Amino acid sequence: MSATALEALHRYTLLESPTGDSRALAALAEVLEADAAGAGFTVAREAHPTGDHLLWTLPASPGGGASATGGPLLLLSHYDTVWPVGTLATMPWTAEGDVIRGPGVYDTKAGLAALLEAARRLAGRPHPEIRVIVVADEEIGSPTAGDLVRSEAARAAAVLGLEPPHPGGDLKTGRRGSTRARIAVTGVEAHAALDPDAGANAIDELVDQLLRVRAGVAERPVLLNVGTIAGGGRTNVVAGKAHADLGLRFTDPADEEAVIGLLRSLRPVREKARVTADLLSHRPTWKPAPDAPLLARIRAIAAGIGQEIDGRPADGAADTNTTGALGVPTVDGLAPRGGGAHARTEWVSSSGVGERIALLAALLAGGGLV
C-alpha cells in the first residue's frame, strides 16, 4: 500500500461521516473533492439537505478511445457510514501490520482511497472517459441518489462498484433486491372501557396487515424482517396511530413485483381505519448475467498483472442493484479486502489496498473494459 493512499485513508477515517449528518458529510466531501481534483477529475455536486452526492469526471485521454457504445466507464461508491460521530473515541484508527481499523475503513473509505490513487497513476496513460458517483446516503438505501445513478447508468458502457468484496477479495456479480417499506395505520381514538366501539384500534389493524403480508410471502423465497414497530400511547385509549418498518430481500424480480404489489393493495380490515404502505427505499433485484462477460474481462486484466480473481452473487444490496437491474454490464466488490462491515471489528487489509490500487489502475487504463 502506498504511503499516499494510507495517509488519505487516515484522513478520511478521522472525518466521521454518518448518513444524514449533513455537516459531517460536507467536511469529508470537501477533502474528497480536493483529492479528486488533484487526481485530475473535474468535480461537481448534486445538493441534498441530508448530504450532497459527488460527481467526478475524468475525460478520455488522447489515445484512450471510446467504448463500443460511446459511453463512459461509471464507478459507484459512497462516503457515508453507519457510525455516528464520536465512534473514534472507542473504535480508534489503528494500523498494525497488515490490519487497518477504524469506523468506515472497510465500508468503504479504503475503496475511495484506492480509486483516487489508481486515478493518479493514469497520468500519461490512455484511458476512456471515467465518471464516478460518490453517494451520501447509500447506507440507508440511497433514497435521494436513485435518479442520479439511473441517469448516469443510462449512458455508461459498464459499471464498477467500489463496495467491499466477498471475504478473500472475490467480486460481486449479482445482488438480492432490497426494499424498505412502511405500513402506517390511522385509527380512531376512544376510551378503551367506556366507548371502545367508537374507536378503531390502529395497533390491532397493523397486526392484521402484518399477518397479511407474512402470508403473502410464505410460499416465496423472500426474506421479510419487521425491523421496527410503534404506535399507541395509553392502555386506556384505543390506539389512534401505529406503523411498522419492513425489510424485504428478493432473489427474483417476479417475487419482488408480486410482494410490492401486495403492499400497495393493502386495504383496512376495520371500517374506520386507514392504511398506507410506502416504499422508503427500493433497490431492484440484480440477477447475474449468464455468461458474465464483464467479469471475464476483469479476470483477464487481473491475470495480466499477476492477480487471480473471481466473482459470484451477493446477498447484500448497493447502488449496483440499480445498474445491474437496468441491464448495464456491472460488477461490484472492487474495494479492498477486509472484514467486519457494520461491526466494531471492522478492518481492511493494507496489502489488499495495494492490490486494488494496481487492479483499478489496470482496469481504468486503455479502455480494455469498455
CATH class of 3-175+286-364: alpha beta
* Domains of the chain by residue range: 3-175+286-364, 177-283
End-to-end CA distance of the chain: 27
Alpha-carbon span 205 to 22, nearest angstrom: 37
CA separation, residue 238 to residues 201, 230, 271 (Å): 5, 14, 15
Helices (H), the chain: 3-14, 22-38, 110-120, 146-153, 202-217, 253-264, 293-304, 320-325, 350-364
Cell of 315: 446477498
| Whether this model's pTM surpasses 0.85 | yes
Alpha-carbon span 118 to 252, nearest angstrom: 35
CA separation, residue 318 to residues 15, 86, 174, 314 (Å): 23, 26, 10, 10
- The per-residue pLDDT string of the chain (370 residues; one tens digit each, 9 = 90 and over) reads 789 999 999 999 999 999 999 999 999 999 999 999 999 999 999 999 999 999 999 999 876 554 545 689 999 999 999 999 999 999 999 999 999 999 999 999 999 999 999 999 998 899 999 999 999 999 999 999 999 999 999 999 999 999 999 999 999 999 999 999 999 999 999 999 999 999 999 999 999 999 999 999 998 999 999 999 999 999 999 999 999 999 999 999 999 999 999 999 999 999 999 999 999 999 999 998 888 899 999 999 999 999 999 999 999 999 999 999 999 999 999 999 999 999 999 999 999 999 999 999 999 997 678 7
Cell of 54: 459527488
CATH number corresponding to 177-283? 3.30.70.360
Equal CATH topology for 3-175+286-364 and 177-283: no
